[in-house]
Amino acid sequence: MNTDWMSDARKIPDDVMNYLRRIAVYAVIDRHLNPERIANVFNISRSCIYEWIRWYRDGGDDALDTRHAPGAFPVMTSEIDCWLKDTILKKTPEDFGYETNLWTLKIIAAVLKEKFGIHVYESTVANHLHRMKLSCQVPEHRVRERNPFQIAYYLNKKWPKIQMLADKMGADIGFEDEAGIAMMTRSGRSWGAVNTPPIIPATDRRGGYNVLSAITTTGRIYYKIKDEHVDSDIYIEFLEMILREQKKPIILIVDRASFHRSKKVREFLRAHRCKIRMLFLPAHAPELNPAEQVWNEIKYRKLGRQPIVDKIDLRARMGILFQELKKNTVRILSFFHLKNTKYVLAGEST
């Protein structure tokens, strides 16, 4: 049995010592026991017993709790914390002369030293950031050219009109996008020995396909896989395929790619005005397009983790994955429930 604490009360845990003081004071004041007897039982000096009694009479029961020295004045004050949180959320290191837009603990510590003349370790900065509900994350990059006023106009003015037009035409609303999918697309993680990244067989052959896809708010998906670069003729082929399979008219929301606005495509749309309309998303706002999630699903979550052998294998695997997604209406509809895409279903007529 370790009896060090019996000869040194400083080794007794605080919560235990708090109870011992109460027991001792109770024994003397309420039970009228001799202070010297209590001191002998607890193996402490008689003066401690009298000091505890004085604490109790001056401050009550709470005064018997262990009191710690206040310590050094904190370097990071609440005012600095508020400034730091506001700075990280609203500015970038570029605003302070750094050649990066990404906040790191090292840069934050340097900015604090420059701004307030204080030296803090990176670990201290990390503790403060976590306490302020901040975390290190993969950022969402947005181009400088995006226009927030155009985006606000689209969401608040243009989109309600699109919904009204769809109701008037009895049309479905769809979102279309295109992307290149290459054999060298890779994503995902795998387990392995510590400090030894696992080696995964892969191909270094180049080549891939250009893919068009469109999803509707009813959970349908249309896609076309092409070897060639997408131009007006290929895009019109894609639109014709949609019209063959669509029972209702459709309003397609697209980005501002050049072939979307070409003369050939405009003439095709004019000739099929009763069946199809095309309207545009704001420039540089891909997060508003639910069809972008098709690439996250097919390209990164699925194909990027598969062992692609060659281009023929890539084409076969893409076909299988698109067919699986085509059958998974629930998954397609989930693309409309994300933070930046849920506006599509808001206010939808029932």
Tell whether the model's pLDDT for residue 216 goes beyond 50: yes
pLDDT band at 350 (very low <50, low <70, confident <90, very high): very low
Averaged pLDDT, 108-121: 88
CB 243 within 8 A of CB 237: no
CB 327 within 8 A of CB 180: no
CA–CA distance from 113 to each of 121, 212, 239, 281, 309 (Å)? 11, 51, 59, 44, 53
Averaged pLDDT, 121-148: 80
pLDDT band at 268 (very low <50, low <70, confident <90, very high): very high
C-alpha 325/C-alpha 221 separation (Å) is 8
Query: 106 — phi, psi (to 5°)?
Result: -65, -45
Tell whether the model's pLDDT for residue 144 goes beyond 80: no
Averaged pLDDT, 324-339: 94
With tokens 């992307």, the residue in question is 179
Tell whether the model's pLDDT for residue 42 goes beyond 90: no
Averaged pLDDT, 178-195: 66
Tell whether the model's pLDDT for residue 119 goes beyond 80: yes
| C-alpha closest to that of 83 among 120, 128, 121, 141 | 128
Averaged pLDDT, 229-249: 94
* Torsion-angle region of 243 (φ positive above 0: left; ψ -120 to 50: alpha; else: beta): alpha
Average pLDDT over all residues of the chain = 84
Lowest-pLDDT range of 54-68, 166-180, 282-296: 54-68
Share of the chain above pLDDT 90, in %: 39
Averaged pLDDT, 222-236: 93
Beta sheet of 221-226, edge-to-edge order: 221-226, 208-216, 172-182, 250-254, 276-280
Query: Is pLDDT larger for residue 145 or for residue 282?
Result: 282
Q: What is the pTM of this model?
A: 0.62
Tell whether the model's pLDDT for residue 184 goes beyond 70: no
Query: Is pLDDT larger for residue 206 or for residue 40?
Result: 40
Tell whether the model's pLDDT for residue 346 goes beyond 90: no
Task: Note the pLDDT of residue 197.
Answer: 62
Task: Note the pLDDT of residue 1.
Answer: 47
Averaged pLDDT, 291-318: 84
Averaged pLDDT, 7-33: 80
pLDDT band at 162 (very low <50, low <70, confident <90, very high): very high
Tell whether the model's pLDDT for residue 207 goes beyond 80: no
Task: Note the pLDDT of residue 115.
Answer: 87
Averaged pLDDT, 108-122: 88
